[in-house]
Structure 1
Amino acid sequence: MARPEAPQRFRRVQALLAARLAQQVLQVWRELMDPAKVDASWPAVRAALMPLVRQAREQSAALARSAYLDARRDAGVGDVGFTPKGPLPLLADRLEAALDVTGPVEFKKAIAAGKTPQQAIDTAAVRMVGSTQYLALEGGRQTMQRSIDADERATGWARVTDGDPCAWCAMLASRGPVYKSAKTAGDPRRGGNTYHDHCACQAWPAFTLDEPFIGIAEKLYDDWLRETRGHGGKHAVNAFRRWWESEGRSAYTAPARP
């Protein structure tokens, strides 16, 4: 029997990892970046950031591998004969490009828009934290998703979010358990394994065809049905988003920070 608290515990641990990375990124950015000499100071900043992101990505993947095996055991499947899949390699070109775009490029865009150097530093910092967290947490997310896809005993997955998701994540979480064999054609909430910068969501494996909803997902499902009644496709998505941003989000209580 799966432990009902395990998915949220896994999400919180990944959130702690992301928070630690954010602190490290901000420290490097503010200590080494010279707003008066952006191009000259940037190579040292980037060189310091790259190993931090790679290390966090490896840690995220390790946490996911351990959690996946725990989920298997809790479901009565066991952990013999299956090895969780690791994430895809993080190519240097991709990491460098992500840092460049959210670092000096974002800083220069902010200056061009009329912001002060300090404001530009802060603006770039927010973008950089989001991007680096995404690449780091991708390690665990890919580990979960690739393991689910490769595991013959896994039936699918559920999206686990906190109590204060954005409209997009709330919509995807409302799907509840998504089965590998399920047909999603015509369901505007397809793509449940997609994420964005500053996203707190994680995937959790399912091993039966009658998996319970996780966390707030069941209430979100009821909300989705109610708010999208009479709409389809992108019109349903827009109707849910309008409701979520105007009144829906306030109906959910965000949990304490991890």
Structure 2
Amino acid sequence: MIDQTSVEALRSQSNLAAQLAIKDLELLLSRLPEQAEAKRKVLLEAVPLLVEEYGNMAAVGAEEWYLQMRRAYTTSSFSSVLGEPPAAEVVRSNVRAVIGPLFDTSLPADDALKRTRAKLNQVVERSVKQTARSTMLTNAARDGQALKFARVPAGSETCAFCHMLASRGWVYATKESASTAQKTGKSFHAGCDCVIVPSFGSDDPIIEGYDPDLLYQRYLFGEKELRDRFPGKHPTDEEVAALIRRLLPSIYDPTYQVNSGDIPFSKRQLAPLSDKKIRHILHGDRKGGGHVYGATKRGKTQFPPWWTEKDILGAIEDIQLHGKAILKDGDSLLYEGYSRGVLIRVRIRNGEVGTVFPIRGDGVEKYFPEGNSAEPLLKYSSTDYPDVYGHKFS
């Protein structure tokens, strides 16, 4: 059974091989000769050998994991293989690119070695893990029982770029798709814990913590926002990931501070939502509200036209359970978060849902007081409308 525990086991195997390789690299660095050219020669010869040795260790662990998962789904025989480590010349090229500080006479020797060590550690770690990923991809492409594979984030932290790539979900395991994924090995950055996971059943596995649909919604939202900010521009994946990282600091910013009043996900409870409040939120009344598409309440944001009442009510629950929480004025609680690519705010007053409205996202419009027709929010800058467009609490 492919579950989060199994994925973490695969990640741990690759990490162990990489850590052992780095330990040997540390020993090698402590014994480098004094002469600059001699140092270069030793590193260019020894580092590819380290990568090959420990890359094979990671590959064996990945192969064993692959076969174990396969036996849980099928009884047919299969002759597995180990993935190829990065070519020695590729590793040497990466080594040449990072050992420059060793030959910089303006740097103190200890500082030069420290800088070189950090960069070489990254080269070795990424190369060793690449061999494990290559093993998964190669076998999935050869195995008629492995229908698809996915890049699955693992570990306690994952960057926005990895999430963006993981949003592509389960792709068919063909030689062409595996070859393409292997050629983009550089997309697995230093410190990346993403693993390649095959799917042996007819349905895509459900892995706790891996929701490609949610990740894809984030990607689409970031891409749409960039296109609207810069008409005619075709944003790159790196640019989309950079924007998503800024829009979701609680997920991607290590320095993010938890808001006062934040409630652990495990202790959250849904606030009551009365029929009267539902009418207020959707269609509006004399006090305000009116956020369903077509409500035509001037100055109010509207949910996308394709959102049904059921979609909106489901999103209200989703944001309370998974959104960012903050106390407001000591007597009310705000939740803010994404649901299906739309940023939504939910206000709780006296223990009940009081106000709900979309802030921005694909299909979100607002009837501005100075106009008589709805306009997409993404046309307006954060400078002009900071309370609506900016990722802030007002």
- TMscore range, shorter length: 0.7 to 0.9
Q: 2:79 and 2:70 mapped to 1: Cα distance?
A: 11
Question: Greater share of strand residues, 1 or 2?
Answer: 2
The aligned residue for residue 87 of structure 1 is 83
The aligned residue for residue 77 of structure 1 is 74
**Are positions 1:235 and 2:227 aligned together?**
no
The aligned residue for residue 220 of structure 1 is 215
SS at match of 2:57: helix
Matched to 1:77, the amino acid is: T
Cα RMSD after superposing both structures = 3.3
State the structure with bigger RCO (CA 8 A, min sep 6), 1 or 2.
1
The partner residue of 2:161 within 164, 168, 171 is 168
Partner deviation per Cα, 1:195-216 (whole Å, 9 max, x = no partner):
2333222101112342135343
Matched to 2:246, the amino acid is: S
The aligned residue for residue 32 of structure 1 is 31
Distance 1:234 1:133, change over 3 A: farther
Contact 1:8 1:160 in 2 (8 A): no
Report the alpha carbon displacement of residue 27 of structure 1 after superposing the two structures with TM: 2.8
Indicate the larger mover: 63-72 or 159-168: 159-168
**Are positions 1:139 and 2:131 aligned together?**
yes
Instruction: Report % sequence identity.
Output: 21
Contact 2:83 2:135 in 1 (8 A): yes
Gaps of 5+ in 2: 228-232, 255-394
Q: 1:136 and 1:93 mapped to 2: Cα distance?
A: 15
In the alignment of these two chains, the number of paired residues is 240
Matched to 2:194, the amino acid is: C
Contact 2:102 2:113 in 1 (8 A): yes
Contact 1:148 1:154 in 2 (8 A): yes
TM-score by length of 2: 0.53
**Are positions 1:123 and 2:115 aligned together?**
yes
Greater gyration radius: 2
Contact 2:3 2:208 in 1 (8 A): no
TM-score by length of 1: 0.77
Contact 2:56 2:85 in 1 (8 A): no
Distance 1:160 1:49, change over 3 A: same
Partner deviation per Cα, 1:130-185 (whole Å, 9 max, x = no partner):
1112222222111110101111111111112234223321111122222237x99x
Q: 1:89 and 1:231 mapped to 2: Cα distance?
A: 37
Gaps of 5+ in 1: none
Q: 1:198 and 1:231 mapped to 2: Cα distance?
A: 28
Q: 2:47 and 2:58 mapped to 1: Cα distance?
A: 17
Alignment of 1:182-193 (within 5 A): none
